[in-house]
Amino acid sequence: MALFEAQKVHKRFGDHVVLEQIDLSFEENTLSGIMGPNGAGKTTCFNVLTGRYKPDRGRVMFDGRDITGKSPGAIAKMGISRSFQVMNVFDEYTVLDNVLLAVPRVRRRSLNFLHDLGNDSLSTDKACVVIGKVGLKGKEHTAASDLSYGERRALEIGIALAAEPRLLFLDEPTAGLGTEATAKLADMIRRIKEGLTIVIIEHEMQFLFSLADHINVVQWGQVVAGGAPDVLRANKWVQASNLGKLA
């Protein structure tokens, strides 16, 4: 059984149908992608999967449990983390403080962590491990506002990782990145993917095809193709579209 599934998901805004009969499944310990042209419905799909929008019809399942319509906070407590296309970090806090805020041990305690966690070496050690995984070792005490754009992207993923999720959703992680920073991000994702289920919505096709085990193509609010990167490259619909040229 897949770790995460969307079953016959339908979403409309007024008279505009954005998603129609969406079926998706993500296997545990794999990296899956969702791609499609602008306006295809992939962002709305992503927001339905992560609880920002409630589907009008259909179900969303995680580890055999129906999570349809649950809030993003409730979904996060179940073991699902996500990043955002628009970065969500605390600029005035250091890298370490940003990551500490997401450590479950810290979140469970009603403490002002800036004052009370100075001696909590266990939480600090966990945060430092995550910081190393996302390539920010040595930047622990740097303010988030002083990081480069690519480093801030890495920090946001680190914050999501610090929550110890079973499933990590990444929303357009390459947005705003140059070639070198995109390559560094790809290397980082390869480091963290072991033992973790990752789903990426992404416009950068070469980036996604180099990482994903399985990719779903969304167009006209529907899943029109799916498979391993090599399978999609051979798909006639993909070949005939601009996506095929990019892939």
- Model confidence over 137-182: pLDDT tens digits? 999 999 999 999 999 999 999 999 999 999 999 988 998 999 999 9
Distance, CA of 170 to CA of 223 (rounded, Å): 19
Question: Where on the phi/psi map is residue 202: left (φ > 0), alpha (ψ -120 to 50), or beta?
Answer: beta
Collapsed DSSP state (helix, strand, coil) of residue 130 = helix
Distance, CA of 67 to CA of 75 (rounded, Å): 7
Q: Residues with Cβ < 8 Å from 73, sequence gap 6 or more?
A: none
Report the pLDDT value the prediction gives residue 108, as an integer from 0 to 100. Answer: 73
Residue 17 belongs to what H/E stretch? strand 16-26
Is the pLDDT at 117 greater than 60, yes or no?
no
- Read off the tokens for 198: 């990752």
